[in-house]
A and B are shown apart, each in its own frame.
Chain A
Amino acid sequence: MDQQDMTQAKAPASRGLPSLRPSAALATGLRRAGILYPFLILFIVLSVWSGPFFTKVNLLDILDQQASTLIIAAAGTLVLVAGGIDLSVGAVYALAGVTAAHLALFAPPGVAIVAGVAVGLGVGLVNGVIVTAFRINALIATLAMSFVVSGLASLVTGGNLVIDYSHPGFADLARTSFLTVNTSTWTMLAVVVALAVVLSRTTTGRYIYASGSNAEAARLSGVRVQLIKLVTFVISGGAAALGGVIDASRVLSAQASNGETTLTFTVLAGIVVGGTSILGGEGAMWRTVVGVLFIALIGNGFDLLGLNPLYEQIALGGILLIAVGLDAWSRLRQS
């Protein structure tokens, strides 16, 4: 046994690590394709099995419903790639929603919208400062902030539902139809494309990857890592707020506790299922779009096929575990 071990030990040690290569290649390959194949398979299956699925109405409806989630997840991708995490997006979404809805009761819609988004940018700035200047772990910092922000949202509404049915002008933001597609969807497309360009084409995007991939190397190469991280939190706060304002405009009402925790985790799940690493330095915008839509398709499929919705959550959780497991496994193989 000893003898055998010695001879086996020789081969890999003599020339780097060739023995790891095949599984490393598989790991990289799996990670690269990621969620794309499961998404396409699910899409085809639903198209075949469910008549109403592959219709313009249903598909546009999915996009419209996912507009705010996609906007928030797109910004969240920047945060995650830079090595951070933002758990306050759900609370910011609610705060911005009620702020805008409340202002829309007596102010012009434009003012309401701008104020809502500004509130989110402000919270994002506070998040960023706490994380970068005070070096507090992003997970804890944004979790704590989510409670603060939720409380603020309740203060704005006094615990009531804000209803804007008598101010239909506020609905124009989300409900105006342009080329048969709602403005909420157009806004989502604009934000996602803009952030995709930032991440993949700009120097800022490169610095985001560098900060998350190896912060010390980035710092020594002249990247202002803390500033970059701060910017991602500000963008995330602004995006969460925009999502909240759009949804308030879509349904012409808003409330302080609006399933915000669920939203935070749906956003995170979408990003991670897409294949963006929770550890930073890896990821892409198209992944997040596919990841969020994949989760949406599961929900849509359960509805259309009339399956027991209780299984939907179990399926989601399982898929999330597989996605994170694959990420961990491929990192192990690469190192």
Chain B
Amino acid sequence: MPENPQQVKGTHVELAGISKSFGGVRALDQISLKIARGSIHALVGENGAGKSTLGKILAGVITPDRGQLLIDGEPVTFHSPREAIIRGIVLIAQELSVAPALSVAENVFLGTEPRRAGFVARRALRRRYDDLAAAAGFELGGDLPGRGLRTADQQKVEILRALCRDARLIVMDEPTAALPRPDVQRLHQVIRRLAADGTTVVLVSHFLREVAELADEVTILRDGRLVRTAPAAEETEETMLSSMLGRSLGTTFPARRPVPPDAPVVLQARGLTAHGIHAVDLDVRAGEIVGLAGLVGSGRTELARALCQAQRITAGTVTTAGGKLAPGRGPNAALRAGLAMIPESRKEQGLMLGRPITENVSLASLARLSDLGLVRRRAERQAVTKALGQVGVRLTTPTAQNAPVSTLSGGNQQKALFARILLRGPRVLVADEPTRGVDVGAKRAIYELLASLAADGLGVLLISSDAEEILGLAHRVLVMRAGRIAAEFRGEAMTEAAILGAAFGAAERGA
């Protein structure tokens, strides 16, 4: 392990031409940047711009496809977080991991406990914890149980954990996203102190004001590409925001058909309140695509799930063309009322990966494809073939339908989910990030599909982190922040700047 006490300032970590793709989607494209030792370096960008991926590459969670990582000028390749920790790089992820059954001190030294003859030396552990906490300036009792710690204190545990592993670079992914305001201030002090003591901090953050206040340098990412790295003193919230906009994928969108003025409302929410959302009002008319924008964590997915009865509703109503939905009846009742959903995660909530393609597509429509409980297999096969054809999944042989759905590409898996919905024939579709993790061609196909569904009179609520996608498809945009609808834009007012401003603006005010 190279110790370079003389190299106090200067470049700590350098990235040279780092690229990373996930299943044909380019998450990072030729990123090169230098991070100074003892500095606070912020990574900013929209959802999906690649900032978290970059943080994970630094910490060895993800191995880049191409490019080189240099630490103290020395090329390294990390295959696991463990290898990064050995080189003094630790990631504090958004999801904190504090073991509830262990004390604070035990959590901090988890895996590196001082030992005597194979037993944990409890007294030594406590002594070292107190030293460490004092050095970091934390007041956090080492005997407190991990269970029930506030998020801010859990974060301190994570930071101490990093420090006791001799971390010289800490990557923090959205550390303040879940914190109340006084704790944010305290965490900022901690971060400043870490940097003053020579630890490099890489800060992945949505909060531009935080970045402007805290960071020494800012790297702005857009669409997986580096826009610029600049001293934070030269940036303002406005300059950062404007640099995050204006992407040009070169994607073309299908023509939007205007919604007839007399089109009936097919989905209506009034005062809808559930975990993560408060008093949401919403209307979707037949033939209309309503975009739902907002940052990750702003309550978009919670709204989708509450609408489709996948999540318990605490107050408010959901009304479809068939009338009010009785609460607590679950997604089955929503489907019967003509309300279907493409869930956020096709692997975890959408597909039965090990089951045949046919079964995946017909799942929501079996009642129609059976007699006296017996599945009419020929009818099923024909219906599935037709639905797959409509969504543009071309299988090489008819028997390929029997293959597990996991053998399809990401784009085709997503289309198979659309085929399931199509076969069911709903009147309203709530699509949560329908183009996440699919290639450009499949994206284009899904856009066409959404547009043609709307043209056929379906109401669509389109949730997306991709502002361009929403602008290209939606008749109207709602922006969520902190669990509420913060703004609505239509016509000329629908711009990327307006959407991002509304989405980020809330975050600034909230923090």
Whether the Cβ atoms of A13 and B65 lie closer than 8 Å is yes
Whether the Cβ atoms of A220 and B308 lie closer than 8 Å is yes
> What 1/0 flags go to B202-245 for Cβ under 8 Å of A?
00000000000000000000000000000000000000000000
CA distance A253 to B367 in the complex (A): 46
B351 CB–A CB distance under 8 Å: yes
Residue from the list A10, A201, A210 in contact with B66, Cβ < 8 A = A10
Whether the Cβ atoms of A334 and B354 lie closer than 8 Å is yes
Whether the Cβ atoms of B354 and A218 lie closer than 8 Å is no
B332 to chain A, nearest CB (A): 4
- Cβ contacts under 8 Å, B310 to chain A: 219-220
Whether the Cβ atoms of B352 and A281 lie closer than 8 Å is yes
Whether the Cβ atoms of A210 and B374 lie closer than 8 Å is no
Within 8 A of B (CB), among A277-335: 281-282, 334-335
Known contacts A14-B21, A222-B335; A203/B352 CB under 8 A: no
B401 to chain A, nearest CB (A): 15
CA distance A216 to B367 in the complex (A): 19
Whether the Cβ atoms of B364 and A221 lie closer than 8 Å is yes
- Cβ contacts under 8 Å, A2 to chain B: 75-77
B199 to chain A, nearest CB (A): 26
Q: In the complex, which residue of chain A has the Cβ closest to the Cβ of B63?
A: A9
- Cβ contacts under 8 Å, B343 to chain A: 216-217, 220
B409 CB–A CB distance under 8 Å: yes
Residue from the list A9, A201, A220 in contact with B349, Cβ < 8 A = A220
Q: In the complex, which residue of chain A has the Cβ closest to the Cβ of B356?
A: A209
Q: In the complex, which residue of chain A has the Cβ closest to the Cβ of B366?
A: A203
CA distance A14 to B20 in the complex (A): 9
Residue from the list A28, A201, A202, A213 in contact with B352, Cβ < 8 A = A213
Whether the Cβ atoms of A16 and B65 lie closer than 8 Å is no
Whether the Cβ atoms of A222 and B332 lie closer than 8 Å is yes
Q: In the complex, which residue of chain B has the Cβ closest to the Cβ of A12?
A: B65
CA distance A133 to B331 in the complex (A): 17
CA distance A5 to B64 in the complex (A): 11
Known contacts A203-B370, A213-B354, A334-B354; A222/B331 CB under 8 A: yes
Within 8 A of A (CB), among B3-18: none
A167 CB–B CB distance under 8 Å: no
B321 CB–A CB distance under 8 Å: no
Known contacts A10-B66, A210-B355, A220-B331; A202/B374 CB under 8 A: yes
- Cβ contacts under 8 Å, B341 to chain A: 220
B353 CB–A CB distance under 8 Å: yes
Chain B interface main SS type: mixed
Whether the Cβ atoms of A10 and B355 lie closer than 8 Å is no
CA distance A28 to B64 in the complex (A): 30
Q: In the complex, which residue of chain A has the Cβ closest to the Cβ of B334?
A: A222
B82 to chain A, nearest CB (A): 16
A6 CB–B CB distance under 8 Å: yes
Interface size on B, residues (CB 8 A): 45
- Cβ contacts under 8 Å, A9 to chain B: 63-65
Known contacts A202-B373, A222-B331, A223-B332; A5/B77 CB under 8 A: yes
Within 8 A of A (CB), among B338-377: 341, 343, 348-355, 359, 362-364, 366-367, 370, 373-375, 377
Whether the Cβ atoms of B332 and A209 lie closer than 8 Å is no
Q: In the complex, which residue of chain A has the Cβ closest to the Cβ of B373?
A: A202
CA distance A61 to B354 in the complex (A): 38
Whether the Cβ atoms of B352 and A209 lie closer than 8 Å is yes
B336 CB–A CB distance under 8 Å: yes
> What 1/0 flags go to A13-49 for Cβ under 8 Å of B?
1111000000000001000000000000000000000
- Cβ contacts under 8 Å, B68 to chain A: 6
Residue from the list A13, A204, A222 in contact with B21, Cβ < 8 A = A13
Q: In the complex, which residue of chain A has the Cβ closest to the Cβ of B335?
A: A222
Known contacts A14-B65, A224-B332, A281-B355; A201/B374 CB under 8 A: yes
CA distance A15 to B370 in the complex (A): 39
CA distance A201 to B369 in the complex (A): 12
Whether the Cβ atoms of B77 and A6 lie closer than 8 Å is yes
A214 CB–B CB distance under 8 Å: yes
Whether the Cβ atoms of A217 and B351 lie closer than 8 Å is yes
Across the A-B interface, how many residue pairs have beta carbons closer than 8 Å? 107
CA distance A223 to B367 in the complex (A): 11
B330 CB–A CB distance under 8 Å: yes
- Cβ contacts under 8 Å, A15 to chain B: 24
B320 to chain A, nearest CB (A): 15
B100 CB–A CB distance under 8 Å: no
Residue from the list B64, B76, B336, B355 in contact with A213, Cβ < 8 A = B355
Whether the Cβ atoms of B373 and A209 lie closer than 8 Å is no
B61 to chain A, nearest CB (A): 15
B406 CB–A CB distance under 8 Å: yes
Residue from the list A10, A13, A209 in contact with B359, Cβ < 8 A = A209
CA distance A129 to B435 in the complex (A): 39
- Cβ contacts under 8 Å, A6 to chain B: 66, 68, 77
A197 to chain B, nearest CB (A): 8
CA distance A282 to B349 in the complex (A): 18
- Cβ contacts under 8 Å, B75 to chain A: 2
Q: In the complex, which residue of chain B has the Cβ closest to the Cβ of A200?
A: B375
B67 to chain A, nearest CB (A): 8
- Cβ contacts under 8 Å, A10 to chain B: 65-66
- Cβ contacts under 8 Å, B66 to chain A: 6, 10
- Cβ contacts under 8 Å, B355 to chain A: 209-210, 213, 281
- Cβ contacts under 8 Å, B420 to chain A: 221
B198 CB–A CB distance under 8 Å: no
Known contacts A202-B373, A214-B351, A217-B350; A223/B363 CB under 8 A: yes
CA distance A28 to B308 in the complex (A): 36
B23 CB–A CB distance under 8 Å: yes
B52 to chain A, nearest CB (A): 18
CA distance A53 to B331 in the complex (A): 55
- Cβ contacts under 8 Å, B362 to chain A: 206
Q: In the complex, which residue of chain B has the Cβ closest to the Cβ of A277?
A: B354
- Cβ contacts under 8 Å, A222 to chain B: 331-332, 335-336, 364
- Cβ contacts under 8 Å, A213 to chain B: 352-355
- Cβ contacts under 8 Å, A281 to chain B: 352, 354-355
Within 8 A of A (CB), among B72-122: 75-77, 79
B218 to chain A, nearest CB (A): 29
Known contacts A201-B375, A202-B373, A206-B363; A217/B409 CB under 8 A: no
A36 to chain B, nearest CB (A): 19
List the interface of chain B (C-beta within 8 A of A).
Answer: 20-21, 23-24, 63-66, 68, 75-77, 79, 308, 310, 330-332, 335-336, 341, 343, 348-355, 359, 362-364, 366-367, 370, 373-375, 377, 404, 406, 409, 420
List the interface of chain A (C-beta within 8 A of B).
Answer: 2, 5-6, 9-10, 13-16, 28, 201-207, 209-210, 213-214, 216-224, 281-282, 334-335
Q: Which 3 A-B pairs have the closest CB atoms?
A: A213-B352, A221-B364, A222-B335
Given contacts A16-B24, A206-B363, 13 further A-B contacts (CB under 8 A): A2-B75, A6-B77, A210-B352, A213-B353, A217-B343, A219-B310, A219-B332, A220-B308, A221-B331, A222-B331, A222-B364, A223-B363, A335-B406
Q: Please name 25 pairs of A and B residues whose Cβ atoms are closer than 8 Å in the assembled complex, sorted by A.
A: A6-B77, A13-B21, A14-B21, A16-B24, A205-B375, A206-B362, A206-B363, A206-B375, A207-B366, A209-B359, A210-B352, A210-B355, A210-B359, A214-B353, A216-B343, A216-B348, A218-B352, A219-B330, A220-B310, A220-B331, A220-B343, A224-B332, A281-B354, A281-B355, A334-B353
